[in-house]
Structure 1
Amino acid sequence: MHHGMLTIYKEAGYTSSDAVARLRGILRMRKIGHTGTLDPDAQGVLPMCLGNATRICELIADREKEYVAVMRLGIKTDTQDMSGNVLFRMEDDEMLSRLSTEERIRSAAASFVGEIDQVPPMYSAVKINGKRLYDMARKGITVERKPRRITIYSIRVEKIEPPLVTMRICCSKGTYIRTLCEDIGEALGTGAAMQSLLRTRVGQFFLGEARTLDEVERIAKTSPEELPLLIRPVDSFFEDLPAGICAADALRLLKNGNPLTTEDLSFPGPSSDPLVQTGASRESQDRTGAGQTENGFSTAERSASGEIPPRAPLPGLNPADKVIRVYDDRGVFYGLYVKKQRQNRFTAYKMFLPEG
């Protein structure tokens, strides 16, 4: 069984669940989960968690996303993209007269940067009273939806060729780019719908490393020994956290997920402070060069739209809590441990016990 994260390029025509089902068949394993849905017509980065990495599906889904969206001005549909029924269409001459300058488009887009409230679309997987909104929408039912607080970290308008506008957007979990396009269209007074969507990044998972399901299937059939090269080790997701090495005489405690004292751990490097030290598993070091993570990407790398937002505290923890990755003396990753304020020991936070 494989353990780790595989960055899939989801092609149009697949749901995220379809992609999981097909990957299960390709890899011949059941324990696979995806890290957040992409609309069937959308394409791009869809990280998959394999084996014990399924324990971090939600953590990956919580990371910021980056998209390249093409917005069509002068139109409004019931789905907020071009797959729906047209509710309104503006003549090109009238639309161009309302836009006046490219700067007006850029200013309208920029006005949505920051924390904003966004109403989820009717054609979405959001549940109200146990029912999916898209199921109600298909029956012609519209219900009131409460706005949700999201964050747009950046919007960069890359191309303006009316009626089409191409934007690169970095945003928080839960953002509907279709809705953002429609809202920008409303701000411009022209209406708008999303024409296409490409997800280029989820956290530290980038488009450049993504593989289509056809590619993965070909490798699995013709060169199965190359499959592990596509899979990131679980600990690479936590590469920004300091690393501790468990002493041999405390390994029994580690294997059982028992608390560890500072005497049970060592922190390699010039400082013994676990807040200062970082490290990588021996597996990660063997597969990458200095300063790189798997596939040549690093969380220090900038996204195309700006700096990657810092990781939020892990669920249930405070910023003051010290979280470390714990390995045995052979470099095998066991899990995350946390030392809370006013405690003198580390307790297990999330374990990824190796097989065998």
Structure 2
Amino acid sequence: MNGIINVLKPPGMTSSNVVVYLRKLLKVPKVGHTGTLDPQAVGVLPICIGKATKLSDFLMSDRKTYIGELTLGVKTDTLDVEGKVISSKPVKCNIENIEEAFKVFSGDIEQIPPVYSAIKYKGQKLYKLAREGIEVSMPPREITIYKNEIIKYYPPDKVFFKVECSKGTYIRSLCRDIGDYLGCGAYMSFLMRSQSGYFDISHSYTLDEIEKYYKNGAIESFLIPMDLPLIKLKSIYISSKVYNKLLNGNAVYVDFIDNKQDIVYNEYVKVYCKGQFIGVGIFKDDCLKMKNVLL
């Protein structure tokens, strides 16, 4: 079984829990997610099955879209509703101040990840170190906020918002930074990932739905072909004469490319031969070199 499942992750379940659940249900040894979603958050969590796990790096790099709520005037140690309150201040800002803060935290910015996160520091996950009371000073990371807009403001302390961002963005950190900018602090009180690259929440499946379809033998209802989400990559079609070479991962000269006009160098492409998706390759030195063979 090879493909990708657009899972609607429930609240209270970690991304790793979802992976373990599906590995047991589908009886497939290789299962992996394409980017951690906070345990209390809900929404889109693409899961790679079988050989599709080789494509996780491509899917992780896609833009993400979130719907969230931040609560002003309170800071927590985890930066979300599950954490311990560490400070509180009166909320004295108005909608104009909040709009200004949202504009400040847009575009290419630097962001410090939460201490309660799965990022590793010297081989250990930050949240484990935080639980042990070990303080770690993490350097800021460069991220991009493509869109950062207020959907609705509920005075005095609730802001409902939508964010489109790059890989590696923490919405909890964004809420913290907006709260600090406004001088009153803030934490993330709700989060839903509505889109992750190709995957949209309107076409996602709950774990109960996936289990039902699987037990009824209707795998095709939820299993997405491996090449479908790779919408950013060009498609290259190869002569059937070198089919076996491709399967063995050998380089193929451009002479065997059927659509030479679509060749791009130093960029990954989707490779097809005999009407099948073979995998992902890259053109270098007049040759197509396979990165991943997925048959």
TM-score normalised over the length of structure 1: 0.78
Measure the CA separation in 1 of the matches of 2:6 and 2:242: 35
Question: Which stretches of structure 1, 4 residues or longer, exceed 6 Å deviation after superposition?
Answer: none
State whether structure 2 residue 103 is matched by structure 1 residue 161. no
Equivalent of residue 103 in structure 1, options 78, 96, 102 = 96
Q: Which amino acid aligns with 2:82?
A: S
User: Is residue 271 of structure 2 the alignment partner of residue 334 of structure 1?
Assistant: no
Question: What is the aligned residue count?
Answer: 294
Q: Which moved more, 1:239-248 or 1:68-77?
A: 239-248
Q: Which amino acid aligns with 1:351?
A: V
Task: State which of 144, 147, 154 in structure 1 corresponds to 2:137.
Answer: 144
**Counterpart code for 1:243:** S
Contact kept, 8 Å, 1:71 with 1:181, in 2: the verdict is: yes
* Equivalent residue in structure 2 for 1:186, among 180, 187, 190: 180
1:257 counterpart (249, 257, 266)? 249
CA positional deviation for 1:113: 0.4
Conserved? CA contact 1:274–1:324, under 8 Å:
no
Unaligned runs of 5+ in 1: 276-318
Q: Confirm or deny that 1:204 pairs with 2:198.
A: yes
Give the corresponding residue for 1:177. 171
- Residues 7 and 47 of structure 2 are in contact (CA less than 8 Å); yes or no, is this contact kept in structure 1? yes
Q: Is the 8 A contact 1:246 1:254 kept in 2?
A: no
Taking the aligned partners of 1:337 and 1:122, their CA distance within structure 2 comes to 37
User: Corresponding residue for 1:348?
Assistant: 290
Structure-1 separation of matches of 2:77 and 2:281: 48
Indicate the residue corresponding to 1:22 in structure 2. 21
In 1, Cα distance between the equivalents of 2:25 and 2:170?
Answer: 31
Q: In 1, Cα distance between the equivalents of 2:269 and 2:116?
A: 41
Is the CA contact (8 Å cut-off) linking 1:241 and 1:324 kept in structure 2?
yes
The secondary structure found in structure 2 opposite 1:238 is: coil
Once the two structures are TM-superposed, the CA of residue 182 in structure 1 deviates from its matched residue by 1.1
One-letter amino acid of the counterpart of residue 102, structure 2: A
User: Contact between 1:274 and 1:322, CA under 8 Å: does it hold in 2?
Assistant: no
The match for 2:239 is: 247
Tell me how far apart the structure 2 counterparts of residues 323 and 73 of structure 1 sit (CA, whole Å).
Answer: 44
Q: Which residue of 1 aligns with 2:109?
A: 116
The structure in which a higher percent of residues are strand is 2
**Alpha carbons of 1:322 and 1:114: their partners in 2 closer, same or farther (altered >3 Å)?**
closer
Q: How many Å separate the matches in 2 of 1:113 and 1:121?
A: 19
1:160 CA drift (Å): 0.3
Q: Distance in 2 between matches of 1:243 and 1:136?
A: 45
Compared CA separation, residues 337 and 139, structure 1 to 2 (3 A): closer
- The 3-state SS of whatever aligns with 2:18 is helix
Unaligned runs of 5+ in 2: none
Q: Distance in 2 between matches of 1:103 and 1:86?
A: 27
Shift of 1:338: 2.1
Q: Give yes or no for contact 2:76–2:187 (8 Å, CA) kept in 1.
A: yes
* Distance in 2, Cα, partners of 1:323 & 1:57: 14
Between the aligned partners of 1:65 and 1:240, the Cα distance in structure 2 is: 15
- Residue pair 2:198, 2:231 contacting (<8 A) in 1 also: no
Residues 1:195 and 2:189 are matched in the alignment: yes
Letter in 1 for 2:290: A
Counterpart of 1:39 in structure 2 is 38
Residues 82 and 242 (structure 1 numbering): CA distance in 2 closer, same or farther, change over 3 Å? closer
Match of 2:211 in 1: 217
> Normalising by structure 2, what TM-score?
0.94
Shift of 1:320: 4.6
> Residue 321 of structure 1 aligns with which residue?
266
C-alpha distance in structure 1 between counterparts of 2:115 and 2:267, whole Å: 42
Instruction: Report how far residue 53 of structure 1 moved.
Output: 0.3
RMSD: 1.7
For the 8 Å contact 1:68–1:169, the answer to whether it is kept is yes
Check whether the contact 2:265–2:282 (CA below 8 A) recurs between aligned residues: no
Q: Deviations over 1:214-243 (max 9, x none)?
A: 11111112x322x21322211113233332
| Identical-pair percentage | 38
- 1:55: which partner in 2? 54
After TM superposition, the structure 1 = structure 2 runs for residues 294-309 of structure 1, keeping only pairs within 5 Å, are none
| Residue 261 of structure 2: aligned partner | 273
Distance change (3 Å), C-alpha of 1:41 and 1:328: same
